Amino acid sequence: MTGKGLPDPFHVAVIMDGNGRWAKKRFLPRLLGHRAGIKALERTVAAAADMGITHLSVYAFSTENWTRPQKEVTGLMSIFRHSLRKKIEELRRENVRLRFAGAREGLPPDVLELMNESEELTAGNTGLTLVPCLNYGGRREILDAVNSLLRGKPKGSVTERELRDHLYISDLPDPDLIIRTSGEKRLSNFWIWQSAYSELYFTDTLWPDFGRKELEEALSNYKDRERRYGTIGNN
């Protein structure tokens, strides 16, 4: 079965890469690149909502990011705190729902409290669902799901449905489109289970320069693609 042109994506995922390089090009500290990345996220959230995208997930902080210099990690956590405090009421008014994906263990208690408050405050919103992936790693997610399953089902085989039900957000639709900025062409442990059939789009644009125009270009590229269903090697 062959379909010409893909339908509008329900779930767009973004690997927000290039903050450090953006800052370096301008002879600025890396943390200023991360702050510029928050502005890019605000633009992208607004654009996604206008375009009718139902779910937008963003790779905000990976499990591997803990290995960065302590000063940078501390600065990133400070940016998360500030952004949540500043934007949560605005997101609530704009009918955006916040849901976080990732391991909660290891995050600062006050950041966890802000995350929980944000999810509760926006739980009734019916517009765009924004999913920041914080302290997230795809392999860690699968391991956590398997271990959770084993605790409740010590014997017998495991089905795909059962494993899916133990992922961080089990009812989140798989990404239709995954965008990575800054020219890198890999998933970097992002949505490992969920990305099995996702379309991939790579752009040289550094994340702080990303916005409505770049999102429109990614969606246009996605919609022009032809997807073939069936066995590998079909023409």
229 confidence band (pLDDT: 50, 70, 90): low
Residue 67 placed within a domain:
yes
Q: What is the CATH number of the domain that holds 107?
A: 3.40.1180.10
Q: From the candidates 17, 19, 135, 176, which is the catalytic residue?
A: 17
9 confidence band (pLDDT: 50, 70, 90): confident
pLDDT of residue 93: 95
Q: Which domain holds residue 158?
A: 10-225
Give the Å distances, CA to CA, from 129 to 17, 29, 53, 94, 97.
21, 32, 9, 11, 5
| Mean pLDDT across 61-84 | 95
Q: Is 17 a catalytic residue?
A: yes
Residue 82 placed within a domain:
yes
Residue 231 placed within a domain:
no
Residue 102 placed within a domain:
yes
Residue 14 placed within a domain:
yes
Q: Is 19 a catalytic residue?
A: no
pLDDT(231) > 70 = no
Q: From the candidates 8, 65, 125, 144, which is the catalytic residue?
A: 65
Residue 5 placed within a domain:
no
Residues 173-213 have pLDDT tens digits of: 999 999 999 999 999 999 999 999 999 999 999 999 999 99
Query: Domains in the chain: how many in total?
Result: 1
Query: And the tokens for 43?
Result: 């633009």
Average pLDDT, the chain: 92
Residue 233 placed within a domain:
no
The pTM score is 0.92
Residue 160 placed within a domain:
yes
Helix (H, G, I), strand (E, B) or coil at 207: helix
Distance CA(153)–CA(155), nearest Å, equals 6
| Mean pLDDT across 130-146 | 97
pLDDT of residue 152: 74
150 confidence band (pLDDT: 50, 70, 90): confident
Cβ(3)–Cβ(171) below 8 Å: no
